[in-house]
């Protein structure tokens, strides 16, 4: 906690993987700054742009017409130089040369790790806004972009099911989530998938085979299996296809890798509202003396979580949804 001070300029950047709703968060931070007579300064291309001094003063009109746009107008990048102390020193000098009093970073775990180290080294106020489609940040029930990504996945699965049922096919659909299965689990339940494979649960290949056999016996002519890219079966999605075809010769299997389409598109209403709330809280928290925390959504309230907790904490999968998935797959 810092002593309350008058902020004249606050910088903001987006870092790491992009997520739908980042622009809505940028808009919120900029307009909240303007509301409190603070000059918002946009930093292009994340921490790399911070090191190189790529900064532009913004105003309320700078962010018109972006709340419904995917991506980020500030661009995003991962910075190798910021991982070095010499790079972070250049970033600090860049902030001071441009008379910035605080920094708001929009991104995920890596973004917050950088913010924490930077704060500890230079005692410079940094507030984080969680934006990642994986929803794997501790200290918030929802990250910006997660709701949009799951809706994109559900829409894609609905279309794939049309062709799967027309040809009596089994589809393995890979979604993002190397370390967290939130997208796979939520979209799988919403789209009526027969099986959902996620990193948090090692269901095993034998169970998958038994489940598909059961589906076939009960008269299902096509099946959808949603696979998080980091699931613990030990097989990638193409190996899963080959394994099933080897053990279930009656199945004609196909693979669909949804890939980066999950990051694109217009943010949902939920993500736009969440981004707007988090942006306001980020600026107000900094004005109140906070300087090494992340804003997040908890029980419908916007709260603060120290960076250390947000980075080290582990998000838990919704076990109720696992049960729901099992029941719905009969």
pLDDT tens digits, 286-296 = 999 999 999 99
Q: How far apart are CA 224 and CA 220, in angstroms?
A: 11
Is residue 8 scored above 60 in pLDDT?
Answer: yes
Q: Which band of pLDDT confidence, cut at 50, 70 and 90, is reported for residue 268? A: very high
The more confidently predicted of residues 15 and 244 is 15
Please list, residue by residue across 249-283, b when 16 or more beta carbons sit within 10 angstroms of its beta carbon and e when fewer do.
eebebebbbbeeebbebbbbeebbebbbbbbbbbb
218/267: higher pLDDT: 267
pTM: 0.92
The tokens for 329 are 């797959």
Residue 205 has a pLDDT of: 76
The model's pLDDT over 210-255, given as tens digits with 9 standing for 90+, comes to: 777 777 666 665 688 899 987 656 568 888 888 888 887 777 888 9
Q: Is 292 helix (H, G, I), strand (E, B) or coil?
A: strand
SS3 call for 191 = helix
Residue 1 is predicted with a pLDDT of 58
**Among 63-72, 75-84, 108-117, 219-228, which stretch is predicted with the lowest mean pLDDT?**
219-228
**So what's the pLDDT on residue 116?**
97
Residue 145 banded pLDDT, cuts 50, 70, 90:
very high
In this prediction, what percent of the chain has a pLDDT beyond 70? 94
Residue 172 sits at φ, ψ, to 5 deg, of: -95, 120
Report the pLDDT value the prediction gives residue 4, as an integer from 0 to 100: 59
Please tell me the predicted confidence (pLDDT) of residue 115.
Answer: 96
**pLDDT at residue number 157:** 94
- Under 8 Å CB-to-CB from 39, ≥6 apart: which residues? 8, 9, 10, 33, 57
- Structural contact between residues 137 and 115, judged by C-beta atoms closer than 8 angstroms: no
Question: What are the residue boundaries of the structural domains of the chain, listed by start?
Answer: 9-145+267-312, 148-263
- The token duo for 281 is 């809280």
The two domains 9-145+267-312 and 148-263 share their CATH topology (first three levels equal): yes
In this prediction, residue 166 carries a pLDDT of: 79
Catalytic residues: 134
Q: pLDDT value at position 263?
A: 94
Task: pLDDT band for 81, please (50, 70, 90 cuts).
Answer: very high
Average the pLDDT over 100-128 and give the result. 96
Whether 71 shows a pLDDT value over 90: the answer reads: yes
Residues of the chain above pLDDT 90, percent: 68
Query: What top-level class would CATH report for the domain 148-263?
Result: alpha beta
Q: What is the mean pLDDT of the chain?
A: 91
pLDDT digit string, tens, across residues 305-327: 999 999 988 888 888 998 998 88
Supply the pLDDT for residue 200: 81
Q: Which CATH number fits domain 9-145+267-312: 3.40.50.450, 3.30.420.40, 1.10.287.110, 1.10.620.20?
A: 3.40.50.450
Tally of residues, the chain:
330
Q: Taking the alpha carbons of 256, 260, 266, 271 in that order, is the dihedral positive or negative?
A: positive
């Amino acid at each position: 906690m810092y002593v309350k001070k008058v902020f004249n300029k606050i910088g903001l950047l987006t870092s790491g993987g992009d997520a739908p709703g980042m622009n809505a968060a940028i808009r919120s931070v900029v307009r909240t700054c303007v509301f409190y007579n603070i000059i918002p300064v946009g930093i292009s291309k994340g921490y790399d742009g911070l090191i190189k001094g790529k900064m532009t003063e913004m105003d309320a009109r700078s962010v018109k017409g972006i709340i419904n746009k995917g991506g980020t107008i500030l661009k995003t990048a991962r910075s190798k130089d910021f991982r070095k102390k010499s790079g972070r020193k250049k970033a600090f000098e860049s902030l001071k040369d441009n008379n910035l009093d605080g920094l708001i970073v929009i991104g995920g775990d890596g973004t917050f790790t950088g913010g924490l180290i930077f704060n500890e080294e230079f005692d410079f106020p940094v507030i984080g806004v969680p934006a990642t489609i994986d929803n794997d940040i501790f200290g918030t029930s929802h990250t910006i972009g997660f709701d949009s990504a799951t809706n994109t996945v559900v829409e894609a699965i609905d279309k794939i099911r049309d062709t799967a049922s027309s040809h009596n096919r089994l589809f393995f659909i890979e979604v993002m989530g190397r370390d967290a299965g939130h997208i796979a689990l939520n979209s799988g339940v919403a789209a009526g998938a027969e099986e959902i494979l996620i990193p948090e649960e090692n269901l095993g290949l034998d169970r998958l085979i038994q489940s598909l056999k059961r589906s076939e016996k009960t008269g299902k002519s096509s099946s959808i299996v949603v696979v998080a890219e980091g699931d613990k079966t030990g097989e990638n999605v193409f190996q899963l296809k080959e394994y099933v075809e080897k053990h279930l010769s009656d199945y004609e299997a196909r693979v669909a890798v949804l890939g980066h389409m999950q990051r694109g598109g217009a943010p949902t209403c939920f993500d736009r509202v969440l981004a707007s709330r988090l942006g306001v809280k980020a600026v107000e928290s900094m004005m109140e003396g906070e300087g090494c925390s992340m804003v997040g959504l908890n029980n419908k309230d916007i709260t603060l979580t120290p960076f250390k907790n947000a980075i080290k904490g582990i998000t838990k999968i919704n076990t109720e949804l696992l049960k729901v998935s099992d029941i719905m797959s009969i």
